Amino acid sequence: MPFVLVRIDDRLIHGQVAVAWGSWLAPDRIVLVNDEVATTEWKRDLYGATDALGAAVAIATIEQFLRSVREGSWESERLIVIVESPRDLLSLVRGGLEIASANVGGMHYSEGKRELLPYVFVDDEDAAVLREIIAAGTALEARDVPQAQPVDVVSLLERSGDERTG
């Protein structure tokens, strides 16, 4: 599958994704994989109307996306895949999707989360899920925009005092 980027971003599709990453990677399609958005008509309409600078936008539940990949639906397209959370990415990995590497681009502050980077905040559950994704063979890098220096997520977890990364 020609994934040019698989990204965790709790803001889903927004300017940073469409403009910065879209211009940098020139995808054919941005696929937003999120059960809530895909099953809520007004959210699906809102995100589906996003101007993605010439890239088509598709919205799918996790199961729909996994099925479409198994069926070869987007084999000839360059895809940016956006999920909202580490848990959504883990669901894709557990569902059999082979993802060599993924980008942690936006996990913003909420109550109970600690800062790893100004754009990456995690709680214990997030950290555990990120570790499980890494253990399954997916490399994770934190980077908000393409021009930024990538940061290894394992090292971020270790520096934050989370010693359960190995």
Tell me which of 1, 4, 11, 14 is the catalytic residue: 14
Segment 52-102, tens digit of pLDDT: 778 889 999 999 999 999 999 999 999 999 999 999 999 999 999 999 999
pLDDT value of residue 162:
55
3-state helix, strand, coil in the chain (%, to 5): 35, 25, 40
pLDDT at 36 over 80: yes
pLDDT tens across 11-27, in order? 998 877 888 888 899 99
Which position has the token pair 């996306």?
65
14 is catalytic: yes
pTM of the full predicted structure?
Answer: 0.92
**Pairing of β 101-106 and β 120-122:** unpaired
What is the phi-psi region of residue 7: left when phi exceeds 0, alpha when psi lies from -120 to 50, beta otherwise? beta
Phi and psi at residue 120, to the nearest 5°: -135, 110
* CA-based nearest residue to 100, from 55, 54, 153, 136: 136
Domain residue spans in the chain? Answer: 3-159
AA letter at 51: D
Q: What is the per-residue pLDDT for 165?
A: 41
User: Which residue in the block uniquely carries the two structure tokens 């997916």?
Assistant: 138
Confidence of residue 2 (pLDDT cuts 50, 70, 90): confident
Confidence of residue 1 (pLDDT cuts 50, 70, 90): low
In the predicted structure, residue 164 carries a pLDDT above the cut 60: no
Mean pLDDT of the chain: 91
Fold observed for domain 3-159: Fructose Permease (3.40.35)
